[in-house]
Structure 1
Amino acid sequence: MIQCTQDTAVVILSYNGRKWHELFLPLIVSEAHTGYDVVVVDNASTDDTLAYVQNTFPSVKTLTIAVNRGFANGYYEGLKQIQAKYYILLSADFEVTHGWFPPLLNAMQRYPGLAACQPKVRYWREREYFEYAGAGGGFMDKWGYLFCRGRIFNDLEKDLGQYDDDIEVFWASGGCLMVRADLYHKMGGLDAELYAHMEEVDLCWRLKNAGYKIGYIGQSTVYHVGGSVISYGSPQKLYYNFRNNLVLLLKNERASRLLWLIPLRLVLDGIAGLQMLAGGKFKHFTTVIKAHFHFYGSLGKWLKRRKEAQKLVTHRNEAGIYPKSAIWQYFALRKKTFPKLEWEPPKLN
């Protein structure tokens, strides 16, 4: 068990991540004086990553997961062994900036009911642009599709300071997620069964269903390399995106909406798959089919997960749900940026 000396533990899950630690750990460690401990959770690396961290950064605390069962499971197992008031789940391929931490801590202390928050996430390779993994805060449309300010599906906005505010969102990026440790454990933590992708959305939704708020803090900035674990556009990423989106809907949505939403998603996802097939992406098409077959084939398991999640529902906080279809706005009406949606999320208070 790791007992942190500071209230906050910045927890970095690492698998063969030495190259990222060489690049990004020096600044993370040098900024630790602003009020956090650094913990590297080695997810059964097969190289010398753990030894490198221990020898190069003696102030960094480390622990090891014996068997790598994916991103979500790595954090699920690791965080059970770390005692702190707040966790920041920070992916190894994130670069922090000077002064990144205080705005996040101030937000957690300032806003009542705030369970978790994220900073602004920009693209490491094209640094003036937002990045896919959270961008300017995460939202969900009325049909259960996810998008962000600064990134609607495949279009990234340039950061011109338009999202420097503090707002309430529906979900915060799991790549750099600050969360109250007691609530994290009370809500059951990340669902290890999801393996990777959308596990943070599932956690945020459970927190929202218990009446808490999720925030975006625009005065803190980090940069994400992106695609370092599962590459963008790969069939593997596509599989988890389609399957896990269905899982988190089944686990967390109102029963009255599920009766029509899941069949609708079967149709809409089918249309998306046919578009991939028409574009010559046969492997992507079969991946969408596989994701649906695996979801329905494991329906009993997911229904048990729903039963567990629904026990935690007290007062549903639905701030951050876009009341229209983001799919329709983007593909049919060609609204490629967040301002064109003509909808404003609530400010944090």
Structure 2
Amino acid sequence: MAVVVLNWNGLALLEQFLGNWEALTPDYAELIIVDNGSTDGSLDYVARTFPHVRCIAFAENYGFAEGYNRAIGMLQHDYIVLLNSDAALSEYSLDEPLKLLEGDNRVVAVQPKLRAFRTPQSFEYAGAAGGYVDALGYPYCAGRVFDTVEVDSNQYDEVRSLMWATGACLIVRRSAYLDAGGLDAEFFAHQEEIDLCWRMRARGGKILLAPSSIVYHVGGASLDAANPKKTYLNFRNNLLMLYKNLPALRLGITLFLRLFLDLIVLLRYVLGGQRQHAKAIAQAWKDALCRFSSFREKRCQNLKLAVVPASQILSPLSIVWHYFVLGHKKYSDLPSH
């Protein structure tokens, strides 16, 4: 197993978290820092403070997805932990994920429970207790639905099947990662782990929550939620993901309904005085539609290799309807999947 942390000019985060990673990476795993052409002295800091920690240094910034793809392609470990540079391990946090992966060859990815670094008893937005995608493509989590984030009161303490595992700490079988094509570098950032997990699930893989494993995540280290670029990337990448993975009829119906719902979100931003976010949604739709043709080959490949249909991967419910109309604010309020 390799614990791989991607860094780009993240000296402050290395100063905060490198000691944690070094101390809590178990003996059966190797800690590896992958540097995306940093110019802030990151590599010098690692060499000076923990000279035994392996570094892979790229001459340029390949971004999140391509940086990981290149690094994982170079490694030979059976299992890879894609750990965000603003995440902290806890003691024994990799033991249960490794047991789940080794116990069933169909398991392609595992995630720990993701808690908030600043409020350690609360789940963290980016993954909580594991992710799902509703019938119209909106992601949500056990422990976090839209902006409602729960306290971890041991309510999700069983091993459970997931649709997607958080990119903040994605523990993946390397062969399955490579077979699925890795993270899509054209996404740049946001929802690329959901897209990858969809492809792995569609090809017959299982994704599980390891509830006894806990990782703490700061969140927002790359883009804050208040940044309109984050809104843009989330909406654009979600539409591209739907295009890449849904069959034609369901894709058409989904996009029609999504246009209506996303227009409501856009109008809410306008009425709330957040016009930059409204513009980001409009631009996301425009750019996604323009890019569909360039994603056609990926779409054909995904649909050709899928052995599990989207109807068995996506949740049958509308999270928008349950959350905003029925008032179901928690995952436990929802009907069973």
Structure 2 equivalent of residue 211 of structure 1: 204
Structure 1: stretches of 5+ with no match in the other structure: 1-7, 345-349
Kept in 1: contact 2:183–2:196 (CA 8 A)? yes
Deviations, residues 180-229 of structure 1 (Å, cap 9, x unaligned): 11111111111100010111111100011101111111010000001011
Structure 2 equivalent of residue 295 of structure 1: 288
Structure 2 equivalent of residue 66 of structure 1: 59
Residues matched between the structures, number: 337
Partner secondary structure for residue 161 of structure 2: strand
How much does 1:76 deviate? Answer: 1.8
How far, CA to CA, are the matches of 2:109 and 2:35 in structure 1? 24
Structure 2 equivalent of residue 42 of structure 1: 35
Q: What are the equivalent positions in structure 2 for 1:132-211 lying under 5 Å apart?
A: 132-211=125-204
How far, CA to CA, are the matches of 1:55 and 1:94 in structure 2? 22
How far, CA to CA, are the matches of 2:235 and 2:289 in structure 1? 12
Paired amino acid for 1:145: Y
Of residues 295-304 and 173-182 in structure 1, the stretch that sits farther from structure 2 once superposed is 295-304
Q: What are the equivalent positions in structure 2 for 1:301-340 lying under 5 Å apart?
A: 301-316=294-309, 321-340=314-333
How much does 1:32 deviate? Answer: 2.6
How far, CA to CA, are the matches of 1:318 and 1:101 in structure 2? 32
Structure 2 equivalent of residue 272 of structure 1: 265
Partner secondary structure for residue 160 of structure 2: strand
> Does the alignment pair 1:29 with 2:29?
no
How far, CA to CA, are the matches of 2:215 and 2:100 in structure 1? 16
Q: What are the equivalent positions in structure 2 for 1:241-252 lying under 5 Å apart?
A: 241-252=234-245
Partner secondary structure for residue 323 of structure 1: coil
Deviations, residues 282-315 of structure 1 (Å, cap 9, x unaligned): 1110000011111112221122221232232233
The correspondence for 1:110, drawn from 103, 106, 121, is 103
Of residues 204-213 and 33-42 in structure 1, the stretch that sits farther from structure 2 once superposed is 33-42
Kept in 2: contact 1:208–1:316 (CA 8 A)? no
Of residues 241-250 and 19-28 in structure 1, the stretch that sits farther from structure 2 once superposed is 19-28
Paired amino acid for 1:242: F
Partner secondary structure for residue 144 of structure 1: coil
Deviations, residues 228-264 of structure 1 (Å, cap 9, x unaligned): 1111231011011000000111111122211211122
How far, CA to CA, are the matches of 2:34 and 2:11 in structure 1? 13
How much does 1:111 deviate? Answer: 3.2
Kept in 2: contact 1:137–1:216 (CA 8 A)? yes
Q: What do you get for the CA RMSD once the two structures are aligned?
A: 1.4
- The change in CA–CA distance for 1:276 and 1:249 in structure 2 (over 3 A counts) is same
Kept in 2: contact 1:123–1:224 (CA 8 A)? yes
Structure 2: stretches of 5+ with no match in the other structure: none
TM-score w.r.t. structure 1 length?
0.93
Kept in 2: contact 1:117–1:179 (CA 8 A)? yes
How far, CA to CA, are the matches of 1:172 and 1:330 in structure 2? 22
Paired amino acid for 2:133: M
Deviations, residues 55-87 of structure 1 (Å, cap 9, x unaligned): 211221111222224211221222222221111
Kept in 1: contact 2:202–2:313 (CA 8 A)? no
How much does 1:34 deviate? Answer: 3.8
Structure 2 equivalent of residue 10 of structure 1: 3
Kept in 1: contact 2:198–2:313 (CA 8 A)? no
Paired amino acid for 2:124: E
Partner secondary structure for residue 110 of structure 2: strand
Structure 2 equivalent of residue 238 of structure 1: 231
How far, CA to CA, are the matches of 2:311 and 2:68 in structure 1? 26
Partner secondary structure for residue 311 of structure 1: helix
How much does 1:321 deviate? Answer: 2.8
- The change in CA–CA distance for 1:318 and 1:62 in structure 2 (over 3 A counts) is farther
How much does 1:138 deviate? Answer: 0.1
Kept in 1: contact 2:113–2:129 (CA 8 A)? yes
Of residues 96-105 and 33-42 in structure 1, the stretch that sits farther from structure 2 once superposed is 33-42
Partner secondary structure for residue 50 of structure 1: helix
How far, CA to CA, are the matches of 1:65 and 1:292 in structure 2? 33
